[in-house]
Protein backbone atom coordinates (compact mmCIF):
# COMPACT_ATOMS: atom_id res chain seq x y z
CA UNK A 1 0.00 0.00 0.00
CA UNK A 2 1.21 3.50 -0.83
CA UNK A 3 -0.48 6.64 0.49
CA UNK A 4 0.14 10.16 -0.80
CA UNK A 5 -0.48 12.68 1.98
CA UNK A 6 -0.43 16.48 1.85
CA UNK A 7 1.17 17.28 5.20
CA UNK A 8 0.06 20.65 6.56
CA UNK A 9 2.48 23.11 8.13
CA UNK A 10 3.09 22.36 11.82
CA UNK A 11 2.26 18.65 11.68
CA UNK A 12 4.86 16.32 13.16
CA UNK A 13 5.88 13.89 10.37
CA UNK A 14 5.34 10.76 12.50
CA UNK A 15 2.39 8.97 14.07
CA UNK A 16 3.23 9.55 17.75
CA UNK A 17 4.45 12.47 19.83
CA UNK A 18 5.97 12.01 23.26
CA UNK A 19 6.44 15.71 24.00
CA UNK A 20 4.94 17.35 27.08
CA UNK A 21 2.70 19.54 24.91
CA UNK A 22 1.26 17.22 22.24
CA UNK A 23 1.45 18.44 18.67
CA UNK A 24 -0.58 17.34 15.64
CA UNK A 25 0.82 14.14 14.08
CA UNK A 26 0.14 11.97 11.05
CA UNK A 27 -2.30 9.98 13.21
CA UNK A 28 -4.59 13.02 13.31
CA UNK A 29 -5.00 12.76 9.52
CA UNK A 30 -4.30 9.20 8.36
CA UNK A 31 -6.22 6.43 10.12
CA UNK A 32 -4.53 3.56 8.30
CA UNK A 33 -2.65 0.99 10.38
CA UNK A 34 0.73 -0.41 9.45
CA UNK A 35 1.97 2.39 7.18
CA UNK A 36 5.12 4.40 7.88
CA UNK A 37 6.69 7.50 6.32
CA UNK A 38 9.10 6.90 3.47
CA UNK A 39 11.38 9.86 4.14
CA UNK A 40 10.68 12.84 6.33
CA UNK A 41 9.39 16.36 5.97
CA UNK A 42 10.06 18.68 8.90
CA UNK A 43 7.26 20.34 10.86
CA UNK A 44 7.94 23.69 9.20
CA UNK A 45 7.50 22.26 5.71
CA UNK A 46 4.35 21.34 3.85
CA UNK A 47 3.43 19.02 1.08
CA UNK A 48 3.87 15.51 -0.19
CA UNK A 49 4.68 12.71 2.21
CA UNK A 50 4.63 9.09 1.10
CA UNK A 51 3.43 6.49 3.60
CA UNK A 52 3.78 2.77 2.92
CA UNK A 53 3.58 -0.66 4.49
CA UNK A 54 6.19 -2.01 2.04
CA UNK A 55 9.71 -1.97 3.52
CA UNK A 56 11.44 -2.40 0.15
CA UNK A 57 9.46 0.47 -1.38
CA UNK A 58 10.17 2.59 1.69
CA UNK A 59 13.92 1.96 1.25
CA UNK A 60 13.77 2.73 -2.48
CA UNK A 61 12.06 6.06 -1.77
CA UNK A 62 14.05 7.16 1.28
CA UNK A 63 17.56 5.77 0.73
CA UNK A 64 19.84 8.39 -0.92
CA UNK A 65 21.64 5.63 -2.85
CA UNK A 66 18.57 5.36 -5.10
CA UNK A 67 18.76 9.09 -5.94
CA UNK A 68 14.98 9.46 -6.17
CA UNK A 69 14.25 13.04 -7.15
CA UNK A 70 12.20 15.32 -4.92
CA UNK A 71 10.82 18.61 -6.23
CA UNK A 72 10.04 21.53 -3.95
CA UNK A 73 8.31 24.86 -4.43
CA UNK A 74 10.38 27.25 -2.35
CA UNK A 75 9.54 30.81 -1.41
CA UNK A 76 12.78 32.60 -0.60
CA UNK A 77 13.58 35.96 0.87
CA UNK A 78 15.66 38.06 -1.51
CA UNK A 79 16.26 38.21 -5.22
CA UNK A 80 17.78 35.03 -6.71
CA UNK A 81 20.52 36.23 -9.04
CA UNK A 82 22.42 34.10 -11.56
CA UNK A 83 25.29 33.43 -9.12
CA UNK A 84 22.92 32.02 -6.49
CA UNK A 85 21.09 29.88 -9.05
CA UNK A 86 24.37 28.61 -10.53
CA UNK A 87 25.65 27.69 -7.05
CA UNK A 88 22.51 25.65 -6.39
CA UNK A 89 22.81 24.02 -9.82
CA UNK A 90 26.42 22.94 -9.25
CA UNK A 91 26.01 22.02 -5.58
CA UNK A 92 26.74 24.01 -2.43
CA UNK A 93 28.95 23.09 0.48
CA UNK A 94 27.11 22.63 3.76
CA UNK A 95 28.52 21.74 7.18
CA UNK A 96 27.98 18.05 6.39
CA UNK A 97 29.68 18.29 2.98
CA UNK A 98 28.84 19.28 -0.58
CA UNK A 99 25.38 18.67 -1.99
CA UNK A 100 24.69 17.03 -5.30
CA UNK A 101 23.78 19.45 -8.09
CA UNK A 102 20.17 20.59 -8.05
CA UNK A 103 17.83 21.60 -10.83
CA UNK A 104 16.49 25.04 -10.02
CA UNK A 105 14.47 27.66 -11.83
CA UNK A 106 12.66 30.83 -10.78
CA UNK A 107 8.88 30.49 -11.13
CA UNK A 108 5.85 32.70 -10.73
CA UNK A 109 4.09 32.41 -7.38
CA UNK A 110 2.27 29.05 -7.51
CA UNK A 111 -1.45 28.76 -6.88
CA UNK A 112 -1.22 27.19 -3.42
CA UNK A 113 -3.49 27.09 -0.42
CA UNK A 114 -2.92 29.82 2.20
CA UNK A 115 -0.47 28.78 4.89
CA UNK A 116 -1.64 28.84 8.50
CA UNK A 117 0.00 30.76 10.04
CA UNK A 118 1.00 32.97 7.11
CA UNK A 119 4.69 33.59 6.42
CA UNK A 120 6.20 36.82 7.65
CA UNK A 121 6.34 39.49 4.97
CA UNK A 122 8.81 42.35 5.03
CA UNK A 123 7.91 45.24 2.77
CA UNK A 124 11.55 46.25 2.34
CA UNK A 125 12.75 42.77 1.28
CA UNK A 126 11.42 41.07 -1.86
CA UNK A 127 10.54 37.41 -1.99
CA UNK A 128 10.56 35.04 -4.94
CA UNK A 129 9.61 31.43 -5.74
CA UNK A 130 11.89 28.69 -7.02
CA UNK A 131 11.24 25.16 -8.26
CA UNK A 132 14.12 23.12 -6.84
CA UNK A 133 14.75 19.42 -7.49
CA UNK A 134 17.27 17.41 -5.50
CA UNK A 135 18.22 13.73 -5.49
CA UNK A 136 19.24 13.37 -1.87
CA UNK A 137 17.46 14.12 1.37
CA UNK A 138 19.60 15.43 4.19
CA UNK A 139 18.06 17.02 7.26
CA UNK A 140 16.55 20.40 6.28
CA UNK A 141 18.65 20.28 3.12
CA UNK A 142 16.67 22.66 0.90
CA UNK A 143 16.49 25.28 3.65
CA UNK A 144 20.23 24.98 4.26
CA UNK A 145 21.02 25.15 0.53
CA UNK A 146 19.02 28.32 -0.07
CA UNK A 147 20.46 29.93 3.08
CA UNK A 148 23.99 29.07 1.89
CA UNK A 149 23.43 31.19 -1.24
CA UNK A 150 21.90 34.10 0.69
CA UNK A 151 18.23 33.24 0.09
CA UNK A 152 16.56 32.19 3.35
CA UNK A 153 13.53 29.95 2.86
CA UNK A 154 10.20 31.44 3.92
CA UNK A 155 7.92 28.64 2.76
CA UNK A 156 8.75 25.14 1.58
CA UNK A 157 6.27 22.83 -0.17
CA UNK A 158 7.38 19.41 -1.40
CA UNK A 159 5.45 18.95 -4.62
CA UNK A 160 6.81 15.73 -6.07
CA UNK A 161 8.73 12.58 -5.11
CA UNK A 162 9.74 10.44 -8.07
CA UNK A 163 6.61 10.20 -10.23
CA UNK A 164 4.17 10.89 -7.38
CA UNK A 165 2.81 14.44 -7.06
CA UNK A 166 0.70 16.48 -4.72
CA UNK A 167 -1.63 17.44 -7.57
CA UNK A 168 -5.27 17.45 -6.43
CA UNK A 169 -4.60 16.99 -2.70
CA UNK A 170 -5.57 19.75 -0.28
CA UNK A 171 -3.66 20.10 3.02
CA UNK A 172 -4.55 17.23 5.36
CA UNK A 173 -5.94 15.05 2.54
CA UNK A 174 -4.56 11.72 1.39
CA UNK A 175 -5.21 9.12 -1.27
CA UNK A 176 -3.96 5.66 -2.07
CA UNK A 177 -1.64 5.41 -5.07
CA UNK A 178 0.06 2.78 -7.15
CA UNK A 179 3.65 1.87 -6.28
CA UNK A 180 4.86 2.90 -9.78
Catalytically annotated residues: 42
HSE-up of residue 39 (Cα within 13 Å, Cβ side): 32
Amino acid sequence: MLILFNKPFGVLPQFTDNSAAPRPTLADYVAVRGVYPAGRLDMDSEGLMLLTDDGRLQARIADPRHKMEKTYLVQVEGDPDQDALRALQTGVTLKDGPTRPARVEPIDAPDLWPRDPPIRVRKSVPDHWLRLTISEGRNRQVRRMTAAVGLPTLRLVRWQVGNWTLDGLAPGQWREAGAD
